Amino acid sequence: MTTIACVVLAAGHGTRMRSQKPKVLHEIGHLPMLGHCLRTARALGAERLSVVIGAGGDQVRAALEGLDAGAQVAVQDPPRGTADAVTAAMPQLEGFEGVVLVLYGDTPLLTLETLKALIGEIEAGAGLAVLGFETDEPGPYGRLVTADGSLQRIVEAKDASPEELEITLCNSGVMAIRSDVLNAFLPQIDNNNAKGEYYLTDLVGLAGEAGHGLAFVRGGEDEVFGVNNRVELAQAEKIFQARARHNMMVAGVTLADPDTIYFAYDTEIGEDCLIGQGVVFGPGVKLEAGVTVKPYSHLEGATMRTGSSAGPFARLRQGTELREEAAVGNFVETKKATLGQGVKAGHLTYLGDANVGAGTNIGAGTITCNYDGYGKYKTIIGENAFIGSDTMLVAPVTVGAGAITGSGSVITKSVAEDALAVSRGKQIERARWAATFRKRHGDE
Ligand code: UD1
Ligand code: MG
């Protein structure tokens, strides 16, 4: 097994985002772009991870805690080019022997297969392997100069001759480098070029001249896609979603109308789940096999167990668990709520900070009044209870197993097992009152 270290370049704020937030923290599928890079690196088995940030990269540093606690931070100040950025990370690669993979923090869509192919080139004997791509619009990209199909060097667009600018095979920026090659040639890179920067791409020519094998792999244009502004951010999101939909369907999930369904980076869905039109998944959703989510539902931080269903128009929020065969219907919102096996909450209901026992029926319009403006309180309902329609459960409150609450009740005190609790005005009836009332107002 090849030992891998990964350096993610993320210096620079990305001014074209027009944002208070550093570019690499803008999200694709609810995960910062940088997070996608780190996850990819870990999935490849990277043992060391180093993120190069610039001056003022404090937000990135803070975010890293949550993205990958094991990642190290290197500071490059001022930014003097991609080779200089990698140099900033070199102290963290002290003593490392293996393959160093360089990624860009604003290029979040790389696939594992392609990166494995790149590392495979090193395993097959190359000292350095570049991820290239073909494009009709090579414009600003570095060009891969080849002879007889083998890589010679990379020339940056600004330094290229007119002939070299005709080349459509471009540099994505991703590079896998054997650590000894990196150690030997990185210090030799100078800034004698159009931009006056230290180009990491110069490593290619230097290593080649010294006799090291150079390789390149062609990646798809949409996996090497880099984000510089919000238009490109939206394009990257589109690519991400298209891929997620494809992967879901291949994995045995039925998507009623794939283009209308949106996933998060960590959405987990089991086989034979049915997802209706217009369903949106926020982060942290897990559906076991055989779950149905009906159209126009929104889920985040929710777990649905086998045979459960939600929607249409359901909103499952953070901390929701629907156990086997539980069903929530239209306009039902849940938060920090566990609904036991077979629980039904069919219509117009809010269940927050609630625990509902198996087999219980929650009538239409039921609300757990969990918040008094200061604190949040729990509602606990036992098994096989029957909560009448329009019950207000003023938490903290407990309804015992098998108990029934009368429709329209405001329940402020705990209800014993198998009891009936009713709290509402008694019905009174006055014969002919309505007719007399109308007559008084001039109606016959
Ligand atoms: C770079 C490549 C070019 C390639 C292109 C792909 C070099 C010299 N050129 O050009 O061949 O086609 O990417 O998009 O490598 N960064 C730092 N510190 C710096 C400079 C850059 O961390 O001092 C980071 C940036 O945050 C970014 C990445 O490196 O993530 C690329 O930098 P950028 O300035 O966009 O390089 P390009 O000129 O686009
Ligand atoms: Mg760039």
Nearest ligand 1 atom, CA 170: 12
Distance 171 CA to ligand 1 centre (A): 10
pLDDT in tens, 5-23: 999 999 976 788 999 999 9
Q: 7 in ligand 1 pocket by Cβ < 6 Å?
A: no
Q: Mark whether 309 and 215 lie in a shared domain.
A: no
- pLDDT given for residue 216 in this prediction: 98
442 lies in a domain? no
Q: Mark whether 207 and 285 lie in a shared domain.
A: no
Q: What is the average per-residue pLDDT within 294-309? A: 99
Q: Mark whether 49 and 77 lie in a shared domain.
A: yes
Ligand number, closest to the Cα atom of 104: 1
Pairing label, strands 320-322, 327-339: parallel
Q: Mark whether 129 and 197 lie in a shared domain.
A: yes
Bridge partners (DSSP) listed for residue 327: 309, 344
Q: What is the average per-residue pLDDT within 40-45? A: 98
Quick one: pLDDT band at residue 56, thresholds 50, 70, 90?
Answer: confident
The last residue of one of the domains, among 174, 193, 219, is 219
Q: Mark whether 181 and 274 lie in a shared domain.
A: no
Q: Is the pLDDT of residue 232 over 90?
A: yes
In whole angstroms, give the CA distance from residue 77 to residue 63.
19
Distance 15 CA to ligand 2 centre (A): 12
CATH number at residue 175: 3.90.550.10
Nearest ligand 1 atom, CA 23: 26
Report in angstroms the alpha-carbon separations of 380 from 112, 145, 302, 325, 399.
46, 69, 19, 20, 6
364 lies in a domain? yes
Q: Helix, strand, coil % (nearest 5) of the chain?
A: 25, 30, 45
Ligand number, closest to the Cα atom of 10: 1
Distance 82 CA to ligand 1 centre (A): 6
Q: Mark whether 252 and 122 lie in a shared domain.
A: no
Q: 93 in ligand 1 pocket by Cβ < 6 Å?
A: no
Q: Mark whether 299 and 191 lie in a shared domain.
A: no
- Given the residues 30, 36, 347, 441, select the one marked as catalytic: 347
Distance 12 CA to ligand 2 centre (A): 11
User: For all residues of the chain together, what is the average pLDDT?
Assistant: 97
Ligand 1 atom 17: residue of nearest CA: 11
- pLDDT given for residue 1 in this prediction: 81
Q: What is the average per-residue pLDDT within 90-100? A: 97
| Domain boundaries, position 200 | 4-219
436 lies in a domain? no
99 lies in a domain? yes
Structural domains in the chain (count): 2
Q: Is the pLDDT of residue 306 over 90?
A: yes
Nearest ligand 1 atom, CA 83: 15
377 lies in a domain? yes
Residue 250 neighbours by CB under 8 Å, 6+ apart: none
* Residue in the block written with tokens 């060009």: 143
Is 121 within 8 Å of 107 (Cβ atoms)?
A: no
Q: 171 in ligand 1 pocket by Cβ < 6 Å?
A: yes
Pairing label, strands 320-322, 344-356: unpaired
Q: Mark whether 215 and 234 lie in a shared domain.
A: no
With 0-12 / 13-18 / 19 or more C-beta atoms within 10 angstroms meaning exposed / middle / buried, residue 40 is buried
310 lies in a domain? yes
Q: Mark whether 198 and 285 lie in a shared domain.
A: no
347 classed as catalytic: yes
443 lies in a domain? no
Residue whose CB lies within 8 A of the most ligand 1 atoms, among 51, 75, 82, for a mutation test: 82
Pairing label, strands 292-293, 309-310: parallel
Q: Mark whether 379 and 302 lie in a shared domain.
A: yes
User: What would the DSSP string read from start to end of 299-358?
Assistant: ESSEEE-TT-EE-SS-EE-TTEEE-TT-EEEEEEEEEEEEE-TT-EEEEEEEEEEEEE-T
Helix (H), strand (E) at residue 215: strand 214-218
396 lies in a domain? yes
Ligand number, closest to the Cα atom of 173: 1
pLDDT in tens, 237-286: 999 999 999 999 999 999 999 999 999 999 999 999 999 999 999 999 99
Dihedrals phi, psi of 305, to nearest 5 degrees: -90, 165
pLDDT in tens, 178-201: 999 999 999 999 999 999 999 999
In whole angstroms, give the CA distance from residue 319 to residue 332.
15
Distance 175 CA to ligand 2 centre (A): 15
Q: Is the pLDDT of residue 444 over 80?
A: no
Is 115 within 8 Å of 40 (Cβ atoms)?
A: yes
Q: Mark whether 31 and 168 lie in a shared domain.
A: yes
Is 84 within 8 Å of 77 (Cβ atoms)?
A: no
- pLDDT given for residue 12 in this prediction: 73
Q: Mark whether 12 and 151 lie in a shared domain.
A: yes
- pLDDT given for residue 14 in this prediction: 74
Pairing label, strands 99-104, 169-178: antiparallel
Length of the chain: 444
CATH number at residue 396: 2.160.10.10
pLDDT in tens, 422-437: 999 999 999 999 999 9
